[in-house]
Every structure is written in structure tokens, then in C-alpha cells.
Homo-oligomer: A and B are copies of this chain.
Amino acid sequence: MIDKIKHSLEDAIAPLQDGASIMVSGFGEAGIPFELLRAVLDKGLRDLTIISNNAGTHEVGIAGLIKAKRVRKIVCSHPRPINSETFLAAYRAGEVELECMPQGTLAERLRAAGSGLGPFFTPTGYGTLVAEGKEQRVIDGKGYILEQPLHGDFALVRAHLGDRWGNLTYRWAARNFGPVMCMAAKHSIVQVNRVVALGDLPPEQVMTPGIFVQAVVAVGGER
């Protein structure tokens, strides 16, 4: 029997080790797996590489890990929306590295990894600092740069409903990076608002098929 349901956050993140690269879903506060991130903090993990759209805000989530000096490197598209003081201070103090890339390139690099593709040419960033050191090509008069698949050990994702096969739905725009990160990571761990029985999710409405998910844990708090 396939049963990906974990009965505690600790069980769900048990495979994580120091030095892991971890994708974290979310845009704004929508879709951020705060409870899983809190469990990572509590577990005492160190030397982490975090792949996410932002670098955390206030002192929770990714910012909480940065504040506790658990993060070696942030790979993201926008490390300084408002309330990003925790990251900015740590970065200026030399406590954390930064790799910044266009948001669409971040999403597409994750997709290439999850889809088994190699590098791909994108026009985004051509003629800019983003292109430095990268292979470039002009095709039909338009410039492109070669971007690499972005693999990671784990994904921590927030979804809405999940079943024991790992099938997921997301609420509204909390979907954002969840589906592509579940595809891209070797091991995807998903917190859901509610676990439902197998067969409760209509097949046509599943947003992440269970094949891309390794663990599902309910955190309650359904909105």
C-alpha cells in the first residue's frame, strides 16, 4: 500500500540532513510552508541552501532560519521585498551567500530539473548582468542565454488538500511554486490543511499528481 501520510512534522522532515538544498514554495506569504520551516529550525539543521522566490520576511519562515544562522546560501529572484531586514543584515554581515536570478528563469530552471531536460535558452536576461559568464546565442535576431536545470534535495511545500498517494490541490494563488518544486526536488514534503481519503480529489482537479510527492503532513488551520 502506498501511504505517504506522516503523522507529525518531525516524521515528515526526518530525511533532511545538514547541508541539504531545500526548495521552499510561496510567493508573498501565500503558499509558504511555515510549519515545516519551523520544524526544520527546531531540528537544528545547519548549512542549508534555500531555493525560494524570496529570502524570507520578518523573523519567521526562511528569515527565522537565516536569523539562527542555519542558511549558507539563498537562491532566489527577489531577496528584498519589504520586511526583508533579516536577510539584508545577514547578507551584509557576510553570513549568507546570495544567488539571484529572474523569477521566470527560477521557475523554468526548476521545471527543467523536474522534467529531465538539460539546459535551455531563454531570452530573459540577455544583454544584462544575468548573462555574464553564460553561453549566449542570437537566433533570428533575438538574443538568448543558456540556463541550467536547478536540482535540489528536498522541497518543502504548502498545499491545501492531500491524499495518501500524494495528490495535491492548492488554494488560489498559493499554488505558485508548489507544483514545479514538487517536480524538481528529489524528495518533496508537503504540508496540507487537510488530508482527504483516496478518491476524494476529483482526478481532473488534482494540481500535483502524487508521483511528484514523497510525504504529506496535515497542519490543520484550514482557511
Contact = CB atoms under 8 A, between A and B. Distances in A.
A118 B119 CA distance: 11
A168 to B, nearest CB: 12
A123 B118 contact: yes
A13 to B, nearest CB: 28
A139 interface: yes
By size class, the interface of chain A is: 20 to 34
Interface stretch (A31-39, A79-87, A91-99, A108-116): A108-116
A173 B172 CA distance: 24
A204 interface: yes
Interface in A142-157: 142, 144
A137 B118 contact: yes
Contact of A122 (B118, B205, B207): B118
Interface of A: 108, 112, 115-123, 137, 139, 142, 144, 169-172, 175, 203-205, 207
